[in-house]
Every structure is written in C-alpha cells, then in structure tokens.
Structure 1
Amino acid sequence: MVCETKIVADEHDAIQGTKKDSIILSSSQMWTSSTPAPNPLEENDVRKDTVFIREFERTDHVEVRRIFYEGIMERIPNTAFRGILQQSQTQFLYALLTLMCFVVTKSLVLTCCVPFVLMGARYFYSHKVIHNYLACALHTDMADIGEYYMKPT
C-alpha cells in the first residue's frame, strides 16, 4: 500500500533498501484499538504484529506495483457482491427481473437461475471495470512513481 511518500509492507526483508532508515512500530503504536493490550507472553513473536515504514526508493518500484495491483484486485468481490447490500434499488430491480422471468416462462428452474446469472454478470462487469482502471493506472502514474508521487507540489 502506498501512503503519500511511504511504503508499508508485510515482508520487510523482501524489499531492498537501506535498513537503517526504517522505522519499526507495532500496530498498536500506529492505530488505536478497542482491544486490550497484548499479553506479555505473546511478545516473543514481534514480527507478526510489526509494521515497517520507510521512504520510497526506486528499487521498490516492482514491489509497490504488486501491492497496488493486489489491493485493487481485492475490490472486485466488494463491488460485485457486498456492494449490493447497500443498493436497495438494484435489489428491487433484480427481484423484479426474477419475478418477470417466472411470469413469462412459468419455469421455476429458469427463475431460480436468474439471480445467479445476474450476479455473474455483475461480477463480470465489475471485473472488467477494475481491470480497465488497473491497465490505465499501471501505465500512467504507477509507471513512474517517483515522478507522480515523490515530486513536491
């Protein structure tokens, strides 16, 4: 994930760069949480709960693009399936189409297939839109991260 001019990665050793410039923080120091403080017995496994933040370097280009790609790809199921929970008009439209299918065809089997076809089409078009965005982003601002994000404004 790219945050302004910083990079956050789970695997600190996988990213080349100057290790002396790294800042090591536990996630509890970065974000407040409503959970109680961790058990002192669990502190022996520090790497599991540690976040490393450092300045972006040109050698991070491939890793940043991978993190960006994976983060955007996670949006496909959210836009296709979970997003419909907040879209009552779309839910109504899908129910209406399913009912119309039953009225026209009088087939219970075909009517049961309509919601799956609609959700499949929704997933396909969400996938298509997000891939088009990724293609554009990876060839414009993510192609030269230093030029787009590291230059002072």
Structure 2
Amino acid sequence: MSGTINLIELREGGAHDLHSVNRIMQEAFDPRFGEAWTSAQCLGMLSLPGVWLVVASVDGQDAGFSLARAIAGEAELLLLATHPAARRRGVAGALLRAVIEEARGRGVARLHLEVRSGNDAVWLYRREGFEKVGERRDYYRGRSGQLFDAHTYARDLD
C-alpha cells in the first residue's frame, strides 16, 4: 500500500472479513491506548441486529474498515480504522461518509461516536460536522495500565 492511492473501493463486510479487520486494527491502533477490540468482540457485535461493517480497499488490498450500529433512530460509529500506509489519503473520510449515508438510509436522526482524547482522528470527525458532547474520564485502559479519557461526539443527520 505504498505510493499514490488512486481508487478507494467500499464494500459491505461481514464475518468473513474479520481476519482483515483484525489485521488492520492491530496495525492501526497503538496498544498503549487499549482501543482495539478482539476478533470475538467484533464477531459478537456483527451478530446483533442493526450492525453493519464497511471495508475499504485500495488497489485490491483491504486498507480500512468501519463498524457501526443503529437502534431506535440513533446510530453509533463503533470502530473506524485505516491501515497506517493508507492514512491521510481519503480512506477514513470515505468510510465515515459511508457510515453517515447508511445511517441516513436506516432512518437515523443522530450519529454518535467516541474517541480517545488526543486521537488524531478528531480533525476528521470535526470536518464531517461532529461536535463534542461529552467526556468520560479514565475510560480507556492502556497496556501499561495507564488511563485515558474518551470524548463523545455527535452529529445530526437531517
């Protein structure tokens, strides 16, 4: 995944994509922050109603994914990850916009997400119209036991 990214392809994902999702997550999420999910957690979430996975491919290689769920008129972006080699090239933005459009299609009025304080992805969320609505102190527990705050963002979809 080096060089220029020419085409980002998005597809609906499923349990068959968990190997790729796990690989991307392990590369994308620094273990010192404790943000990555296990394969079992992802599989469990995928088995629930209202959950969808979008996988982004670049030049035929999986480069990122988003996992979201909708219930009772609201949705939550659960995970969004881009392989480090594909960052700052539009993959995360394409995934986030795909989640927004799918949520709209499901009749969702408001989309929520949570992100670790200091995460570089905040600029993307703000650019796409999300505003900070809350904070959870000491929410993430990193590998060394260090605690990190989580910030909650939301965006109306109508």
Q: TM-score range by the shorter chain?
A: under 0.3
Q: More relative contact order in 1 or in 2 (CA 8 Å, sep 6+)?
A: 1
Q: Write 1 or 2 for the structure with the bigger share of strand.
A: 2
Structure (1 or 2) with the larger CA radius of gyration: 1
TM-score, structure 2 length as denominator?
0.22
TM-score, structure 1 length as denominator?
0.22
